[in-house]
Amino acid sequence: MEKVAMCGYRCDLCSGFAPNIKNKDEREMLSNVWNKYYDLNIPTEKIYCDGCRCTKEEAKRIDKDCPVRKCVIKNQLDNCGECIKFPCGIFNERKGLSFEEAKEKLGSSFCANEYNSYLLAYDNLTRLGLYRENEN
C-alpha cells in the first residue's frame, strides 16, 4: 500500500523505513546510494525511520528537524502538493532526483535498477506534481 510522506517521498518504497528494514535490511546499500547520488554520508546504523506521520513520542526519523515536515504541520496540510507555494524553497531542500536527473548526474555510471530500487522513493517533485494534476 502506498504510504506518502509529507514531502512526497514514498515511505513504502524506502529501504530506511522501519517496516521495510524488518522485512529486508538494505540500509548498507541505501547508504552507499545516498552517498553516490546526494553526497550524503549517513552511517548504516543511523538509517532508521518510523516515518514523518508516526505519532509515537519516541518515533525515530532520519531527519529529526525536517523543515518540510514542520511547514506541512504548521500549515495544516497533508503534503506539500496541497500548498499554493509548491514547489517552494523549503520543499526544494528535500527534493529528490527524478529518473532523468539521476541519469544526468551519474552519466555512464547510472544504473536504472539501482535508481528504481533505492531512489524512486524520493522522486517527490514528479509524484506531487501528478497529485496536483489529479486534484484539479
Answer left, alpha or beta for residue 76, where phi above 0 means left and psi between -120 and 50 means alpha.
left
Q: Specify if 18 maps to a domain.
A: yes
Local structure of 77: helix, strand or coil: coil
The answer to whether residue 3 sits within a structural domain is no
- Domain assignment present for residue 6? The answer is no
Range of the domain at 60: 11-135
Full pLDDT tens readout for the chain, 136 residues: 789 999 999 999 999 999 999 999 999 999 999 999 999 999 999 999 999 999 998 999 998 899 999 999 999 999 999 999 999 999 999 999 999 999 999 999 999 999 999 999 999 999 999 887 887 6
Helices 27-38 & 99-106, crossing angle to 10 degrees? Answer: 70
Residue 4 in any domain: the answer is no
Q: How many separate domains does the chain show?
A: 1
